Structure 1
């Protein structure tokens, strides 16, 4: 396919390049405005340079994707308010049998929560729990933070609401939620297991040494050391408090005749305490009932998605049902929605649409098509490498927007089954590609930034530590998943 006019190609490439630089490196010294502003800047330049008209720019914004993203974010906010993620955090350390068991739990919980509530949300709420548990058990944070980030990326591939690029695929491919889940789930499960085994192999010795040190320290501790250990000190203070309460309850005062006024005062005080306890008990039951309803609505949303109902309106309906159920001013909860992400998507849609108008992606697709047929093993390998490279250079969401249409059209020319397979391959590789480097996905950056900014347990996950595990893990997990999907 021929390129557009030279002027349109040059100006469109400039606008897209500015968007790409600010999306991948949001704090560049010459223009540190961030990803959201960079996305809007790219969109505005596409209009100013007349690569797209204002009407075409508005048309390029995909409202179903924005509606689905908004609905899932609101549902996640209310699930967090209902302590769902706190319960997930408690599961990480409940009856844990050591560091290796803890690592496997993190992989499992991160994958499941990411498939249901998006990988970015899971990383935001679980990083603090993971870092806290690692610090309390005197364990190195690196393997656990890697387990959280990499498992979140792999797990998010299983559903159409697991990550932003899958939301794009949901809108463009028209594949049903259940069909997509069945197609990707085996690859996701095996991928999580392989990723966890690779983490255990790489960090087994380090985790074993740290566990031995912890056990030796706990065996040799005496009474004087107990007060200095935060966990033991907290336990002792709790026990002392209970003992004092028990002694006070068993204490029998001398039989002294009290004045009637004092007796009446005590009776009023007891009645006040009884009313307060009754009120607290009622509030507790209301809270439990409200939480149960939040979980039921969320389950109902997932069932509706599996039944093939419109994904965008299903998510929005569930979000509004939770707002009404809360029966309070929704502004505090709605303010937690990442509107900057929604604006970023709007700008990205316009920018990518303008870049497509230059015909550069179509030309590259035409050149790649004969070598990337999804009905051949060699073609799948070439397509996977292209997606992997593009996802780490241009980020996974723009990669799906740029490659999705041409790849699906090429596969559709073979058969409908091959078209579906092409979308599954695109979803799988673009999701797992985020594990290649620290800059590969937003989930990685969220884990790194959350850990670094933690006020009590600040820790930096280095680019090299992520890379030396991410490269082999990404290659092996991607290859295994492609075999299962194909």
Structure 2
């Protein structure tokens, strides 16, 4: 049975690394779900054991926050914010700073994937109206959403998982993460300005692909937006106060928002990222099955004998960065989480897995969303274009974060 579990694990994580399985129309979510089914069908786990392996509080937290974000999107909040930024009477560098600040702040409070999905088309439209190249602003949007989401335990799926499993204090994490996140955002602005220098202007003409296509976005509704912001404020107050359980608060606010005479629940559910929830479910089952065999403990012990001690922050920081760019950050966090139960290690895991997403175009879902949405409007974000900004931003943010963690924990972080 160990052979079956190991084989399924290898296939699933190969799918995580490639983004799909060769010759099959299966994305990462499909691979993870298929792996869980194979384990149950093969007798490695019963259906009850598989269900018990799922961390329900994490799933509840994800779902609740997705509903809150859906309320704001349907209320036109993201559209209003992005159009206000695009219309600001500022030079390109100032506009870039606004894009970075707004993307980072919203991503820290809400899922960064949703922020990129909602803001990208409006940002392209705004740049064209001002005859500005969309590329520097789109790259800044993607990178800032990743960096900003590292600031809190609700900014992205992997941070939610880390916060729920380790019981890490929301406030304590925020205070520790604020410094490297702020420094990394400042570095992002400098790097984009240096990369593009004076290359901001671009004239668009009617023959350009997608130029004549109006952006379809929900109209702004003050009442619906106000409801979403009100309950988001309640959640933030609950999280900062440390009132447990966080997932119940998220579900409670989502439940109240579903009680509406104007916005249909089906429309809100349509904006919930069901594939992400299924990805979590499948990986919970696959990783639980592997851990039950003892293979994972053997891998940890072998790494320690080779001098790679994941109990030290420096090794965990580096291993997370590498693994996140091989199999993506959520699967990487699930693999490394057993070695990051201490508050200091949980902070390292959250920061490293999130900041690593800026290195490659496929490093985070937020990057891919920006690229996909931009291409629909005639702007092609290539691997090379992303790497021009992503590489220096990642290296700089890791250097700044590593320095901060070393100043905070000294020998524990460097592994001496």
Taking structure 1 as the reference length, the TM-score comes to 0.75
Partner of 1:298: 232
Does structure 1 residue 470 correspond to structure 2 residue 390?
A: yes
Partner of 1:443: 366
Partner of 2:294: 359
Quote the Cα distance in structure 1 between the aligned partners of 2:304 and 2:347. Answer: 17
Partner of 1:42: 35
> How has the CA–CA distance of structure 1 residues 16 and 374 changed in structure 2, closer, same or farther, with 3 Å as cutoff?
closer
Please list, as runs of the form range in 1=range in 2, the aligned pairs for 1:99-178 lying within 5 A after superposition.
99-178=92-171
Alpha-carbon deviation of 1:328?
5.5
Alpha-carbon deviation of 1:430?
0.2
> How has the CA–CA distance of structure 1 residues 389 and 21 changed in structure 2, closer, same or farther, with 3 Å as cutoff?
same
Partner of 2:399: 479
Q: Is the partner of 1:175 in helix, strand or coil? A: coil
Alpha-carbon deviation of 1:403?
0.8
> How has the CA–CA distance of structure 1 residues 395 and 358 changed in structure 2, closer, same or farther, with 3 Å as cutoff?
farther
Alpha-carbon deviation of 1:116?
0.7
> How has the CA–CA distance of structure 1 residues 367 and 144 changed in structure 2, closer, same or farther, with 3 Å as cutoff?
same
- For the 8 Å contact 1:374–1:421, the answer to whether it is kept is no
Pairing partner for 1:386 from 313, 319, 338: 319
Does structure 1 residue 83 correspond to structure 2 residue 76?
A: yes
Alpha-carbon deviation of 1:325?
4.6
Post-superposition Cα deviations, 1:136-177, rounded to whole Å, max 9, x if no partner, equal 233333221110111111100111110010111011110121
- For the 8 Å contact 2:356–2:394, the answer to whether it is kept is yes
Quote the Cα distance in structure 1 between the aligned partners of 2:68 and 2:345. Answer: 30
> How has the CA–CA distance of structure 1 residues 91 and 365 changed in structure 2, closer, same or farther, with 3 Å as cutoff?
farther
Partner of 2:412: none
Partner of 2:215: none
> How has the CA–CA distance of structure 1 residues 329 and 82 changed in structure 2, closer, same or farther, with 3 Å as cutoff?
closer
Quote the Cα distance in structure 2 between the aligned partners of 1:291 and 1:471. Answer: 36
Pairing partner for 1:430 from 345, 353, 376: 353
Pairing partner for 2:63 from 58, 62, 70: 70
- For the 8 Å contact 1:348–1:398, the answer to whether it is kept is yes
- For the 8 Å contact 1:51–1:357, the answer to whether it is kept is no
Partner of 1:322: 257
> How has the CA–CA distance of structure 1 residues 126 and 291 changed in structure 2, closer, same or farther, with 3 Å as cutoff?
closer
Quote the Cα distance in structure 2 between the aligned partners of 1:136 and 1:288. Answer: 25
Q: Is the partner of 2:141 in helix, strand or coil? A: helix
The structure with the largest alpha-carbon Rg is: 1
Alpha-carbon deviation of 1:462?
0.6
Alpha-carbon deviation of 1:327?
5.9
> How has the CA–CA distance of structure 1 residues 136 and 360 changed in structure 2, closer, same or farther, with 3 Å as cutoff?
farther
Alpha-carbon deviation of 1:130?
1.8
- For the 8 Å contact 1:165–1:400, the answer to whether it is kept is yes
Does structure 1 residue 185 correspond to structure 2 residue 105?
A: no
Structure (1/2) with the larger helix percentage: 1
Quote the Cα distance in structure 1 between the aligned partners of 2:30 and 2:313. Answer: 36
Partner of 1:257: none
Q: Is the partner of 2:136 in helix, strand or coil? A: helix
Partner of 2:339: 406
Quote the Cα distance in structure 2 between the aligned partners of 1:205 and 1:329. Answer: 47
Alpha-carbon deviation of 1:467?
2.1
Quote the Cα distance in structure 2 between the aligned partners of 1:60 and 1:335. Answer: 27
Quote the Cα distance in structure 2 between the aligned partners of 1:29 and 1:22. Answer: 8
Where structure 2 has 5 or more consecutive residues not aligned to the other structure, the ranges are: 208-220, 409-416
Equivalenced residues, count: 394
- For the 8 Å contact 2:16–2:331, the answer to whether it is kept is no
Partner of 2:246: 311
Quote the Cα distance in structure 1 between the aligned partners of 2:174 and 2:387. Answer: 29
Quote the Cα distance in structure 2 between the aligned partners of 1:459 and 1:307. Answer: 43
- For the 8 Å contact 1:12–1:49, the answer to whether it is kept is no
Alpha-carbon deviation of 1:441?
0.9
> How has the CA–CA distance of structure 1 residues 14 and 134 changed in structure 2, closer, same or farther, with 3 Å as cutoff?
farther
